[in-house]
Amino acid sequence: MILNRKLAIAVFILFLIIGSFMFIGKENEELPFIEQKTFPDDFGVSAADPLAVKVGMDVLENGGNAIDAAIAVSYVLAVVEPFGSGLGGGGGMVVVPDHDESPVFYDYLVMAPGSGNIAEGSVGVPGFVKGLEQIHEELGSMPMETLLQPAIDLAEEGFQVNSILTERLQAARKRLPVNQLEHFYPGGTAIKPGEILKQQELANTIKLIQEDGSDAFYSGEIGQEITSRVQGLEMEDLHGYTVVKNEPVKGVFNGYHIYSAPPPFAGLTLIQNLQMAELMGIEKAGSESVNFVHLLAEISKKSYESRIEYIGDLHFNHVPIRKLSSVDYAKELSSTVLFNQLSKTSNNEATPADKLDHSDTTHFVIYDEEGTMVSATHTLSNFFGSGIYTEGMFLNNQLMNFNQISSSPNFLEPRKRPRSFMAPTILAKDDKPVLGIGSPGGARIPAVISQVLILSMLYEIDFQTAIEAPRFFAEDDTLYVEEQIPDEVKAELINRGYRVVVRESPAFFGGIQGLLVDHNTNELNGGADYRRNGTWEMNN
């Protein structure tokens, strides 16, 4: 349901009545559902496509765990959202296991070739297939062959196209080899909503992986086809791909532990946003709603500057994670926020990709009846990645996210992973998962996740309502807003010095997917974003 003007105004009225700005911290106020009891018997899936949600639920209902469901959902999303993720890309996954096991993060981002040069189309070595295989080997319970079958069936037998896929194909027409894509462009026109899309070539590729595992991709005929198609990628680049298993970055927000994606992902940026917002008492943000928008915009600017200064691949850079995730550092950043005027940002080392209009990528959250939660984000970078199509898949263009300035921690080097805005996240209490969340949306990802968490946890607004609330994003002096933000608020923002730009494309502002566990009532709840056709289900 699209948020109407009345709901938009209602949300912002909450900002009007709460109080005045307070540049002080506040005592942590725990929400009712953080009291830990036993895990609920419920399980659920929140994802950007109903078909992926159904497949994930089927796995859970048939005895699979959250990891099993995540594998199946990932491959199904590669079939039904070929613009947002797929075998030709990569991603990251945070897992907060049941019982006393430690949280873990898997990094299977795209990697630069060993030559240290940018390959054709900015295509990097994909990590999707190898990453999901390793995660399954370490944490899965059902046979991999079984988990891949739903994606094969959907690719082979087809599914009904939705309007989002049609719109993406229409928008990308000039970037794609339309004459090679008869199944996407029958008769030269983007396939229409309601028509059946079959992808036999993709089905064949997944079948090879089903039979031979990741070797089919990184050593076999799939890899050979990729390297023959992309100048600058060699088989030794694929052979050398490795998955990075790491600890999540950690922070504290409103009495919860935050577990998010470590560098080169943007988990630290999200943690800084949330901690600054809490320290500055954002829930008391002024007698006018414009103050909430302004304060969160300024907070995001500060964390994004920190990202540009520090964040890069951990194998090539020392990133002071403990410092950057600390409350003291959040205090330092927040001390420079200006309440009544716009700050001047210094983005001299920002890459062109830091300001690109990318809105694709996909996110999902899964929770199983044993109490394990998974939060994962996958991407091709731009929609349909590089536009290069082979073996039924589109190849990423993620190498464009590197910086060409040698002093940058994100400078291109052989076998390095580029910086990413993705921030799959789980909030926990007593090391038990309470809320999983994430979003696509390129540069907007940390900001939009922050907005939803602040509204739902500090303002105590219903989670789904917080997801539907009108969004905004600041870039220097420009403030991008959704049209549902009241006209009087836009006018006040202009008076404050912003250049206000209304973005009519809902996908620009991401697509939040989430699940939350109410340990007080032993129930599971969730939220999904209409902006990206999202949905969620649970078992009752």
Q: Which sign, positive or negative, has the C-alpha torsion 156, 158, 164, 165? A: positive
Residue 34 has pLDDT above 70, yes or no: no
- 361 has catalytic annotation: yes
DSSP 312: S
The residue from 269, 361, 390, 425 that is catalytic is 361
**Of the listed ranges 39-43, 269-273, 504-508, the one predicted with least confidence:** 39-43
Mean local confidence (pLDDT), 393-415 = 96
Q: Find out whether 420 and 379 touch, Cβ atoms under 8 Å.
A: yes
Alpha carbons within 13 angstroms on the beta-carbon side of residue 468 total: 21
Looking at every residue in the chain, the average pLDDT score rounds to 89
Rounded Cα–Cα distance for residues 306 and 132 (Å): 31
Which one has a higher pLDDT value, 392 or 430?
A: 392
Rounded Cα–Cα distance for residues 445 and 307 (Å): 13
Exposed, middle or buried: residue 358 (CB in 10 Å: 0-12, 13-18, 19+)? buried
Rounded Cα–Cα distance for residues 312 and 314 (Å): 6
3-state secondary structure of 15: helix
Where exactly are the structural domains of the chain? 1-23+42-47+86-123+240-540
Which one has a higher pLDDT value, 283 or 363?
A: 363
Q: How many CB atoms lie within 10 A of CB 143?
A: 12
Q: Which helix (H) or strand (E) holds 256?
A: strand 256-260
Nearest to 122 by CA among 356, 522, 339, 396: 396
Model pLDDT for residues 160-202, shown as the tens digit of each residue: 999 999 999 999 999 999 999 999 999 999 999 999 999 999 9
Tell the residue number behind the tokens 């159904």, with chain if given.
54
Tell the residue number behind the tokens 């899309």, with chain if given.
197
3-state secondary structure of 297: helix
Tell the residue number behind the tokens 């054709």, with chain if given.
120
Domain 1-23+42-47+86-123+240-540: which CATH number of 3.40.50.1970, 3.60.20.40, 3.40.50.300, 3.40.710.10: 3.60.20.40
Nearest to 298 by CA among 253, 334, 347: 334
**Of the listed ranges 113-122, 130-139, 175-184, 335-344, the one predicted with least confidence:** 335-344
Q: Which helix (H) or strand (E) holds 17?
A: helix 5-18
Q: pTM for the full model? A: 0.91
Model pLDDT for residues 354-374, shown as the tens digit of each residue: 555 455 789 999 999 999 999
